[in-house]
Amino acid sequence: MNFESILEKMKQHSPSVLGKNSVSEYSILLPLIQKEGELHLVFEVRSHKMRRQPGEICFPGGKVDAEDDMEQDAAVREATEELGVGAEHITHVYPFDYLVSPFRMMVHTYVGFMNCDETDMNPNPDEVEEVFTVPLAFFLENEPKVHHVHFEVKPDEDFPFHLIPGGRNYKWQTRPVEELFYFYEDKVIWGLTAKVLNHFIDMIR
C-alpha cells in the first residue's frame, strides 16, 4: 500500500452514509392532493393486523426491495399498493431529504402529487385501516407539541471496560430526543411521521 494506490481509491470513491451496508432502507411518500379547493396531505392509519406499529398514523411507504431500480420506485410502489391507486395517479414526484434512525433504518422521503380524490382510493385492508387527509394550511398555521425521550446507554455484560478511560465510570454521552406531536380532530400524528412532516413544513414555509 502506498500513497498512489490510496489516492486512486479515493478518486474512485463516492461519499455515502457510513455503515449504510448494515441498515435497512425504506422509502416513504408525502402525497399531496387537491381537495375542496386547497392542498391536503394524505395519511394512513396502519391496520390493526400489522405486527409493527398497528393503529399508528403514517405516510405511505415501505422497505426498498431488490426489484426497485431506485428508492423513488419503492415509494411509489408502496403508495399504489397501500392506497389502491394506479401509478398514473401519482405525478410530479420529487426527492426530499433522508434520515438514518438509531434503529438501523435509512429512510428516503419523497413528495408527490396525486391527481385523484379519496373516492378513487381502495386501501389495502391488510395494511391500511383508514385513509384521511389534513389541509396543508393546518400544519402551516399550527406548530407541533414537543416532548422528549431519553435513550439509555447499556453496555453488554462482557463489555471491555478495562480498555476505555474511566472503566465502568466512563461518562457516556446522552441527550434528549425530541418527539413531535400534531393533533388534528381525533388524530394524533407523532414519531417519524411527525418528524418528516415538520421538516417538510419548515422547508415550504
pLDDT tens digit sequence for 72-123: 999 999 999 999 999 999 999 999 999 888 788 999 999 999 999 888 999 9
For residue 153, give the amino acid letter.
V
pLDDT at 56: 95
pLDDT digits (tens, 9 = 90+) for 4-17: 999 999 999 998 88
The confidence score (pLDDT) of residue 137 equals 97
Q: How high is the pLDDT of residue 111?
A: 98
DSSP string, 51-113: SSSTT-EE-SEEEPPTT-SSHHHHHHHHHHHHHT--GGGEEEEEEEEEEEETTTEEEEEEEEE
Of the two residues 205 and 193, the one the predictor is more confident about is 193
What's the confidence (pLDDT) of residue 51? 83
Identify the band that residue 62 occupies on the pLDDT scale cut at 50, 70 and 90.
very high
Q: So what's the pLDDT on residue 175?
A: 82
pLDDT at 27: 97
| 80 Ramachandran zone, left/alpha/beta (phi>0; psi -120 to 50) | alpha
Helices vs strands, H then E, count in the chain:
4, 10
Which residue in 36, 110, 47 sits closest to 79, CA to CA?
Answer: 110
DSSP annotation of 23: S
The answer to which of 47-51, 121-125, 187-191 has the lowest mean pLDDT is 47-51
Quick one: pLDDT at residue 167?
Answer: 95
Q: How would you class 73 by CB atoms within 10 Å of its CB: exposed for 0-12, middle for 13-18, buried for 19 or more?
A: middle
List own/partner pairs for 147-150 with CB under 8 A and 24 or more apart: 147/178, 147/179, 147/181, 148/176, 148/177, 148/178, 148/179, 149/176, 149/177, 149/179, 150/174, 150/176, 150/177
Please, which pLDDT band fits residue 49 given cuts at 50, 70 and 90?
A: confident
pLDDT value of position 1: 81
Is the per-residue pLDDT at 41 higher than 90? yes
Q: pLDDT of 156-174, one tens digit each? A: 999 999 999 999 999 998 8
Q: What is the mean pLDDT of the chain?
A: 93
